[in-house]
Structure 1
C-alpha cells in the first residue's frame, strides 16, 4: 500500500493563527502526496471543535503574536500540544509554532535583542549530528527567518541548529517532535507578501536583518533550496505519522 493510499482517510491538522502565515510549501507537499488535511484557525476558536485524539500528525504555523501575550486561545493551544506530545503524535512547529511547543514542554520564550529577518545561514549543533531530522542536510544551510522571540531548549530536548543571531534555531523532543524557529514553509509569494506588507518593520541597518532587495535577489533559487530543507522535515513527519508508535 502506498503512502497516498494509507493517508486517504487519515487526518492531518495544520494550526494557523492569521491568514498571512499560511501553510505555504507544506500544503504543496501534502497535496502532492495525496494527504488529506484540515486547517484550523486557532485564533478564531476553531480548536475547540477538534477531537484531539484523531489527528495522525499536527503542524503548527507562525503568527505575529508572542507566546507571552495574554490571549486565552494561546493557553488552549499549549494544552492541546501537551496532549499530542503525551500521545506521541508527530508534531512540527514553525516559528510561533516552535515557540508554542517549547512553552508546552516548560521552556521559556523571550524577546531577542534584535529581530531576525531574511535568509540566514544556520549551522548544525554537535548534539544534532545524528538526528534523523537533519539527515538530508549538510553542516550549514539557509532558512528564511522572521521573528523577535526565541525559545530556550526544553529539558530532555536535543538542540539541532543555530544561527549567528539566534542560538536556538531548532530542537527535537523524543522521536516525534520538531520545533523550528525559522520558516521552511516559505514560497515566493509569501516572501513577496511579507516584505510588501511589513516593509516598515525591516531595519537593514541591523546585522540580523536583510533589506528587501537582498531578500528578493535570486528569490527563485533561494526558495528552491529552502524547499529541499523543508521537504526532508515534512517527509520524516509524515513517515512518523504512518509508523507504529514505537517506531523511530
Structure 2
C-alpha cells in the first residue's frame, strides 16, 4: 500500500495520463478495482491522496460494491485528504456528499468545450486553466451539486461538469485523464454505441480530428489539476 490510492472500476478506464504524471514525479501509487472487491483490503486511514476513475455503470445500479465505495469516499472526505473523481468517480463523490445522480435524456459523447464558472475569483483547482478548454466526454448520467459545493465547470450538453467541495474535493464529469491511445481505443471498441443522429454525440471521424492538439490542450489542464491535488497532499 502506498500514500496515493487510485480506484478503478473496469479495465478500459485506467488512470491514463494521471499515472504518467505520477511516474514522472517518481511517486508510487496503488491501483485497486472496486468492482472486484479490492477496496475492501485497503487501509482507509493510509492514503494521503485518492483519485477515482470512470466506468460504464451507474451509481444507482444495485451493485453491492457501490455502497462500499461510497462509504469509503465518505471516510476519505472526513479525513480531509484530497480526492479527485473522474466521470463515474465524480458521480460517486456527489452521491457521497448527499447530491443526486440521475440519467440525462441523452448521452454526451465527444469533445466538449468546458466553460469556467469560477470567474472572476479563480478556484485553485483551475488557476492554470483558460476560460474555456476541451475535455472528452462519454456519459449518460450527471450529478447535482452537493450542499456547500462550488460550481466550477459546464458544457453545452451538461451544466454540471465539475464542482469542488471544501478545499480538497474535486468532482469532474468528463475524462481529462484520456491520452491519444485511450481516445482511439474507446472510439474503436465502443463504436457500436455511437448514434450520430443524437446532436449530443459526435461521430468517430470528428472525434479523431485534430486529436493531438485536442489531447494536448486537455492534458495541460489535467496536469495542473493533478499538481494541485499532489500539492494539497504533500505540500509541494
TM-score of the superposed pair, with normalisation by structure 1: 0.93
Q: Answer yes or no: is 1:151 the counterpart of 2:150.
A: no
Equivalent residue, structure 2, for 1:182: 174
Tell me what 2:71 maps to.
79
CA distance in 1 between partners of 2:118 and 2:218 (Å): 22
Residues paired across the two proteins, number:
236
CA deviation string 1:212-242 (max 9, x = no partner): 0001111111111111010011000000011
**Structure 2 matches for 1:39-58, cutoff 5 A?**
39-58=31-50
- What is the CA-CA distance between 1:129 and the residue it aligns to? 3.6
Deviations 1:167-226 (A, max 9, x none): 000000000000000000001111111111111111122221111000111111111111
CA contact (8 A) 2:2 2:30 kept: no
- Find out whether 1:242 has 2:230 as its counterpart: no
Gaps of 5+ in 1: 1-8
Mark the CA change 1:128 to 1:200 in structure 2 (over 3 Å): closer, same or farther: farther
Deviant stretches of 4+, over 6 Å: none
- 1:111 aligns with 103
Counterparts of 2:140 and 2:120, CA distance in 1: 24
Specify the alignment match of 1:68 in structure 2: 60
Aligned equivalents of 1:65, 1:109: Cα separation in 2? 12
For structure 2, which runs of at least 5 residues remain unmatched after alignment? none
Q: SS of the residue aligned with 2:148? A: coil
Per the alignment, residue 225 of structure 1 pairs with 217
Q: Deviations over 1:121-164 (max 9, x none)?
A: 01111468421111011211111100000000000110101001
Cα deviation digits, residues 10-47 of structure 1 (max 9, x gap):
52000000000000000000000011000001111101
Q: Root-mean-square deviation (CA), in Å?
A: 1.4
Quote the Cα distance in structure 2 between the aligned partners of 1:224 and 1:243.
27
1:18 to 1, 10, 13: 10
- Give the distance between the partners of 1:89 and 1:137, measured in 2 at CA: 23
Relative distance call for 1:128 and 1:232 in structure 2 (3 A) is farther
Q: Which residue of 1 aligns with 2:117?
A: 125
Q: Deviations over 1:60-107 (max 9, x none)?
A: 000000000000100000000000001011100000000000000000
User: Could you say which residue in structure 2 is the equivalent of 1:3?
Assistant: none
